[in-house]
Amino acid sequence: MQMCSFLKCVESNLVLDQCVRCGDIDVEFMASRMLEKLDKYYYPINGILDIVIVLDPQYKPKILQFYFPQI
């Protein structure tokens, strides 16, 4: 359960980062507001989820190696 929420937050963050630089003023404004909300509610628990994922044996380090350079 925690891994799914972590992956969804990472994917959302990557997509929103792309939207912030898309060139459409309305989309950029909306994406920046959404990133602010994501930062406000997700990042306080980000470190805890990182530790949980690393310690969970069913998830391989390849997932972390794939996502962390993109973040």
Q: Determine the Cα–Cα distance for residues 48 and 4; give it in Å rounded to an integer.
A: 14
For residue 56, the SS3 value is: coil
Q: How confident is the model at residue 67 (pLDDT cuts 50, 70, 90)?
A: low
pLDDT of residue 4: 62
DSSP secondary structure letter of residue 59: S
- Across the range 8-30, mean pLDDT stands at 88
Q: What is the pLDDT of residues 33-50, one digit of tens each?
A: 998 988 887 776 666 666
- Alpha carbon 2 to chain centroid, angstroms: 13
In the numeric block, which tokens belong to residue 40? 């406000």
pLDDT of residue 47: 67
Q: Determine the Cα–Cα distance for residues 2 and 25; give it in Å rounded to an integer.
A: 34
